[in-house]
Amino acid sequence: MRFQDKVAIVTGGNSGMGKEVARRFVAEGGRVVVNGRNPAKTEAAAKDIDPTGKLAIPQIGDVASPATGEAAVKAALDHFGRLDVLFNNAGIFIPKPFLEVDEAEYDRFANAILKGSFFAAQAAAKAMKAAGRGGAIVQTGSMWALQAIGATPSAAYSAAKAGVHALTKNLAIELAVDKIRVNAIAPGIIETPVFNTFLSDEQVAQVLPTFNAMHPLGRNGQPEDAAEALLFLASDQAKWITGVVLSVDGGIMAGRP
């Protein structure tokens, strides 16, 4: 198994892509710290991933605070004795026209996405460097950081995710000497509960299918599609890959049919 006895932190690991990558990491022999802001949701996710509580533990906190990344690293080291992988997955997505975004909303995107990724990666990299075994940091970027989508105006979100892409390349260079690889994925439309944060269940059922045709492969992505790419980049199968932002988007960035 690819992750036998390895330990990962998954920020935003209590639903969607984060929960799926945490679940599969454990299924492939690893142990995980499942981070999330909502205590009940995060504890339930960890229990669902591993009912025994031995292979998945919850860690509550908002990654917008650097202390949360530090606490997640401490949890990994205290409970499992090591840290091999950080999945920087936490974020928010709420489309809103540029002219309507106020400072508080801008700060919310910048803090949850870019600041959170920056300081969680810093805490993880310090632990990995101290251990001397190297490691992998895999970030969740976005297709929206590569091109604008008129149907989902999201300038603040896109700018923050573009910062994650730039952070990925910078950290890949800085941390290579410590054998820490840093990569990211740029997903297209992935059907996760994030859409329920600004749409009703009925609206989600109506709206999401309209995006299928936008992808040349003919369908929206599922959490397992993103998890497959995230796990590959975290594994030794990608041991000579660093500084890459991998499009996982059903072909959107290749062009239009």
Q: How far is the C-alpha of 41 from the C-alpha of 29, rounded, in Å?
A: 24
Does residue 106 carry a catalytic annotation? no
Catalytic one among 3, 25, 93, 157? Answer: 157
Write out the catalytic residue numbers: 157
